[in-house]
Amino acid sequence: MFNKSASISLIANDAGSANLLTHFFMGINTQPAKVFMVGPAQKIWKNSYTDTLISNSIKEAINGCSVVITGTGWQTDIEHEARILSNDMGIYSIACLDHWVNYEERFIRNGELVLPDEIWVFDDHALHLASGIFPDTNIFLKQNFYLEHMVNLAKVEKQPKIPELLYLSEPMRNDWGKNIQGEFQALDFFIQNIDKIRLPDEYNFIFRFHPSENINKYKKFLDERSIKYTFDINANISTSLGRSSWVVGCQTYALVIACALEKNVFSSLPPQASPLILPHQEIQQLRNL
């Protein structure tokens, strides 16, 4: 089991697990002995731990440590490779689940299933799901310091005089058989059905890009629609969420933060899309209204 006084190696790539793990270590007031971060995870970690030395490889990060903690992202194989190496070296491994979908697939590469010794989840929904999928693996519910941090930051924001609707873009990686990127289908569906939200006569439509997207990705698409919009320039999403009265997106984790803030939260997934993966009942699905 996890002991914060152990010599810990932390390895991650995706933003989801990096946010949860970074704030978890800040919350328990400790720091891993070694860190190997790439991609979005490295930027997130360095923003909080500015003096951390990033290891040059998985093996370098694991050597000399007694516990290895990894994310479970899909974008790279580094976390999977870290679990394999941990098993080979007899090092205790822990994996962080940061969402509510594709749990078993997160631990499979090239048909090889490699489970950790212990799995961490950060809410009751994930605990229930993971317990059913991995009955023989130790699963622990950890405090979600990241969600608490984001909610506290957002709560200090003052409401603008003209209420704001915040739309959160998100790469969907699925065209649902329409030969058009899913995120564009969802945005178009939202614009065509915006009246279902019952907005006041005066409001501002604020559009926020996903961190992995180019700022020009949606401009032409939005300009061709009959809707006035403003691109969100706030550095921290908590500012945008705190200012908003309505929050709309497909199934980004930011909708979960908006639920915790008791905002009016909507999913813009169109009728042809897959089922909503977020299990939170507070999220209203536009396609069901």
pLDDT in tens, 178-234: 999 999 999 999 999 999 999 999 999 999 998 778 889 999 999 999 899 999 989
pLDDT of 205 reads 97
Indicate the pairing of strand 118-121 with strand 112-113.
unpaired
pLDDT of 214 reads 86
From residue 106, alpha-carbon distances to 37, 100, 130 in Å are 18, 11, 12
pLDDT at 135 over 80: yes
pLDDT at 1 over 80: no
- Provide the CATH topology of domain 151-288: Rossmann fold (3.40.50)
Q: Which amino acid is at 29?
A: N
**pLDDT tens profile 7-52:** 999 999 988 899 999 999 999 998 899 999 998 899 899 988 878 7
Helix, strand or coil, per DSSP, at residue 105: helix
Give me the mean pLDDT over the 91-116 stretch: 93
CATH number corresponding to 8-143? 3.40.50.2000
Q: Please report how many Cα atoms fall inside a 13 Å half-sphere around the Cα of residue 130, on the Cβ side.
A: 26
Place of tokens 């279902």: 196
Give the integer Cα–Cα distance in Å for 178 and 268: 16
**pLDDT tens profile 251-287:** 999 999 999 999 999 999 999 999 999 999 999 999 9
Torsion of CA 61, 64, 70, 75, to 10 degrees: 30
pLDDT band for position 115 (cuts 50, 70, 90): very high
pLDDT at 81 over 80: yes
Taking the domains of the chain in order of start, what are their residue ranges?
Answer: 8-143, 151-288
pLDDT of 265 reads 98
Structure tokens at 199: 């907005």
φ, ψ for residue 118, nearest 5 deg? -150, 145
Cβ–Cβ < 8 Å for 29, 6: no
- Residues comprising the chain, all counted: 289
pLDDT of 51 reads 81
pLDDT of 226 reads 85
pLDDT of 215 reads 83
- Report which DSSP code applies to 161: S
**pLDDT tens profile 153-183:** 999 999 999 999 999 999 888 899 999 999 9
Cβ–Cβ < 8 Å for 90, 68: no
Task: Give me the helices (H) in the chain, please.
Answer: 15-27, 39-48, 58-62, 78-89, 124-133, 145-155, 182-192, 219-223, 237-243, 254-260
Give me the mean pLDDT over the 74-100 stretch: 93
pLDDT at 243 over 90: yes
pLDDT of 242 reads 97
Cβ–Cβ < 8 Å for 271, 260: no
